[in-house]
């Protein structure tokens, strides 16, 4: 099985409940195609580097999963026609980094780094 990291960007006007529905929808697609979910992260509403379909921001959802190539092709086929998504990207990786949380708040990171005295 191959290891993949997959990120989707939903439109800025997508409500939190719709983001949850999108997450569940794509998780079920991965599982139906014999994929195994390792981790799901909701990075929240972030600024885009440039306008995409008149959107300045987007809701980012990141998946880490194991699967075969057919999982990715099926996932991207459905995402290409989904009007709620702005972009999607799948990257094949050699191993997962499950420790680092790139989009946590600075205060949370500082608390973890300071030892308790």
CA 80 – CA 94 distance, rounded (Å): 26
Q: Where are the alpha helices (DSSP H) in 60-105?
A: 69-79
E strand intervals along the chain:
2-11, 36-52, 55-67, 85-93
* Contacts with 50 (C-beta within 8 Å, 6 or more apart), sequence order: none
Neighbours of 103 (CB within 10 A): 11
pLDDT in tens, the chain (117 residues): 889 999 999 999 988 899 999 999 999 999 999 889 988 988 888 999 999 888 899 999 999 999 888 888 999 899 999 899 999 999 998 987 777 777 666 555 455 555 555
Domains assigned to the chain: 2-94+103-113 (3.30.70.60)
Phi, psi angles (nearest 5°) of residue 65: -145, 160
Q: Indicate whether this model's pTM tops 0.95.
A: no
């Amino acid at each position: 099985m191959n290891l993949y990291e997959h990120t989707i960007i939903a439109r800025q006007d997508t409500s939190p409940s719709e983001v949850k529905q999108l997450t569940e929808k794509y998780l079920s697609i991965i599982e139906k195609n014999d994929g195994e979910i390792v981790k799901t992260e909701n990075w929240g509403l972030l600024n885009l580097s440039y306008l995409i379909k008149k959107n300045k921001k987007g809701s980012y959802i990141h998946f880490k999963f194991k699967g075969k190539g057919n999982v990715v092709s099926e996932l991207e086929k459905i995402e290409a026609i989904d009007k709620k998504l702005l972009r999607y990207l799948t990257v094949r990786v050699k191993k997962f980094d499950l420790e680092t949380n790139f989009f946590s708040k600075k205060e949370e990171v500082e608390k973890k780094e300071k030892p308790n005295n």
